[in-house]
């Protein structure tokens, strides 16, 4: 375990079938003027909306709403929400939905009292808020992003074809609390469920595939990966299996709540390439990751061979006896590929709407990060993207 770090995660979690009741514990801690934020209507269909409104009313809250937060929320939607929150003089933001809704609530939180343009300040200059921010609470309905317990907020600018995530350094941007009721996730379409599962798995990979030191984070990561693979196979065959879905929900939170990145440089290039694919196609986040992962990992494998070998042996139970390190490492990725196909993930970017003429632009929009086993050049990103076409 090398390096220097601090660790603090102040988000309080309420987990399980009865967890929504704890809104009654949390809401009295904040002011009367609440903005309820949600997506395109799934919470109205499932009845979660009615339950939440009932609790807000019982707690005497004055509620305004921001509805229609789309998957991959846009900067224009952010401007609209900031105006609503300002007009309502909001004291508190309650996000009810998936990662998009939770991310969006955090973006509103840092923008309401900000006089500068949030896109330029937070997404182009990556600055921290210099204004007062609003507290955010989350009721999670879709599993994958970890947004319920981190300070990330991803926003898409369709005008410039950029999808950018800002992970704020200040832990006060993390939600004050999150309600995690696995039952809420049972209404997710299969496509969203498996996209979320791969998102979890890839968050772990992004942190695991970095560094060569002996690090406790890597052992935790391997445990989480085992749990995700096991639960995903059950949930894929039997989506209503509460035990599997609850394990996926808990694993997702721990996959990206800053714990397993401690002492690690972290990679994140699958996310950087996937996000740029998302900016061009508006595709589902987890599917963009699935579509670029194998070409990326096969490309960087020679630069991190020992870790890929460890991944093969410890995560995919590949027997290393009598094989070269490279052979073992490659067999690990093949096992991962079989699992991905078993889940029905999208394995190429063509299926997501990307075409050959977009590749230069997608590579231009990819933010290159230095923490993995190889710092990519622009032309290498284009090559990886070409491999990701059908």
Q: Which positions lie near ligand NZQ, rule CB under 6 A?
A: 39-43, 46, 71-72, 97-101, 103, 141-142, 144-147, 150, 152, 154, 165, 184-185, 187-188, 192, 196, 199, 256, 271, 285
Residue 114 binds which of ligand NZQ, Zn ion, none (CB < 5-8 A, kind-dependent): none
Q: Residue 291's CB: how many other CB atoms inside 10 A?
A: 30
Is residue 287 within 8 Å of 308, Cβ to Cβ? no
Residue 150 binds which of Zn ion, ligand NZQ, none (CB < 5-8 A, kind-dependent): ligand NZQ
- Paired tokens of 73: 């929320």
Please identify, using beta-carbon distances, which residue of 189 and 302 lies nearer to ligand NZQ.
189
Q: How far is the CB of 256 from ligand NZQ (least distance, A)?
A: 5
Q: How far is the CB of 144 from Zn ion (least distance, A)?
A: 7
Give the H or E element holding residue 202. Answer: helix 190-208
Q: What binding mask, one character per residue, do residues 257-296 give for Zn ion by CB under 5 A, x or -?
A: ----------------------------------------
Please identify, using beta-carbon distances, which residue of 191 and 299 lies nearer to ligand NZQ.
191
Q: How far is the CB of 305 from ligand NZQ (least distance, A)?
A: 26
Is residue 157 within 8 Å of 122, Cβ to Cβ? no
Of 320-379, binders to Zn ion (CB under 5 A) are: none
Provide the pairing of β-strand 162-167 with 152-157.
antiparallel
CA torsion sign for 193, 198, 199, 204 is positive
Q: How far is the CB of 145 from ligand NZQ (least distance, A)?
A: 4
Binding of Zn ion by 199 (CB under 5 A):
yes
Please identify, using beta-carbon distances, which residue of 188 and 294 lies nearer to ligand NZQ.
188
Q: How far is the CB of 48 from ligand NZQ (least distance, A)?
A: 8
Residue 142 binds which of Zn ion, ligand NZQ, none (CB < 5-8 A, kind-dependent): ligand NZQ
Please identify, using beta-carbon distances, which residue of 297 and 312 lies nearer to ligand NZQ.
297
Whole-Å CA distances, 11 to 52, 258, 367: 20, 12, 29
13, β-bridge pairs? 178
What is the spatial distance between Cα 287 and Cα 347, in angstroms, rounded to a whole number? 8
Q: Tell me the DSSP string of 363-386.
A: HHTPPP-SSSSSPPPHHHHHHHHH
Please identify, using beta-carbon distances, which residue of 192 and 232 lies nearer to ligand NZQ.
192
Q: How far is the CB of 102 from Zn ion (least distance, A)?
A: 13
Provide the pairing of β-strand 12-15 with 92-97.
unpaired
Please identify, using beta-carbon distances, which residue of 141 and 217 lies nearer to ligand NZQ.
141
Q: How far is the CB of 188 from ligand NZQ (least distance, A)?
A: 5
End-to-end C-alpha distance for the chain, whole angstroms: 40
Residue 71 binds which of ligand NZQ, Zn ion, none (CB < 5-8 A, kind-dependent): ligand NZQ
Nearest 10 degrees: CA dihedral of 153, 159, 162, 165? -10
Q: Residue 331's CB: how many other CB atoms inside 10 A?
A: 19
What is the spatial distance between Cα 299 and Cα 72, in angstroms, rounded to a whole number? 28
Which residues would be at the binding site for Zn ion (CB under 5 A)? 199
């Amino acid at each position: 375990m090398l390096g220097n770090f601090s660790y603090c995660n102040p988000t309080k979690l309420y987990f399980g079938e009865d967890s929504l009741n704890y809104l009654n514990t949390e809401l009295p801690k904040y002011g009367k003027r609440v903005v309820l934020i949600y997506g395109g209507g799934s919470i109205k269909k499932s009845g979660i909306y009615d339950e939440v409104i009932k609790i807000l009313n019982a707690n005497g809250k004055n509620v305004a709403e921001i509805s229609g937060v789309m998957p991959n929320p846009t900067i224009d939607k952010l401007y609209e929400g900031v105006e609503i929150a300002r007009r309502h003089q909001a004291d508190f933001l309650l996000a009810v939905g998936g990662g998009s809704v939770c991310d969006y609530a955090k973006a509103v939180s840092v923008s309401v009292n900000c006089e500068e343009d949030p896109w330029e300040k937070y997404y182009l200059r990556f600055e921290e808020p210099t204004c007062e921010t609003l507290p955010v609470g989350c009721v999670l309905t879709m599993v994958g992003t970890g947004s319920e317990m981190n300070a990330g907020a991803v926003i898409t600018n369709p005008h410039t074809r950029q999808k950018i995530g800002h992970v704020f350094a200040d832990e006060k941007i993390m939600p004050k609390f999150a309600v995690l009721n696995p039952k809420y996730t049972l209404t997710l379409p299969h496509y969203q469920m498996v996209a979320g599962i791969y998102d979890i798995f890839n968050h772990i990979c992004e942190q695991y595939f970095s560094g060569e030191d002996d690090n406790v984070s890597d052992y935790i990561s391997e445990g989480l990966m085992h749990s995700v693979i096991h639960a995903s196979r059950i949930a894929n065959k039997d989506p209503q299996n509460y035990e599997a879905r609850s394990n996926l929900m808990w694993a997702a939170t721990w996959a990206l709540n800053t714990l397993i990145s401690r002492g690690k440089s972290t990679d994140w290039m699958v996310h950087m390439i996937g996000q740029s694919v998302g900016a061009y196609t508006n595709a589902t986040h987890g599917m963009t990751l699935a579509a670029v992962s194998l070409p990326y990992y096969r490309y960087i494998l020679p630069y991190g061979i020992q870790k890929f070998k460890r991944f093969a042996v410890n995560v995919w139970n590949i027997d290393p006896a009598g094989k070269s390190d490279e052979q073992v490492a490659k067999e690990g990725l093949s096992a991962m590929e079989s699992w991905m196909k078993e889940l029905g993930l999208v394995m190429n970017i063509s299926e997501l709407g990307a075409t050959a003429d977009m590749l230069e632009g997608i590579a231009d929009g990819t933010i290159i990060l230095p923490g993995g086993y190889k710092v990519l050049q622009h032309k290498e990103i284009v090559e990886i993207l070409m491999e990701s076409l059908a």
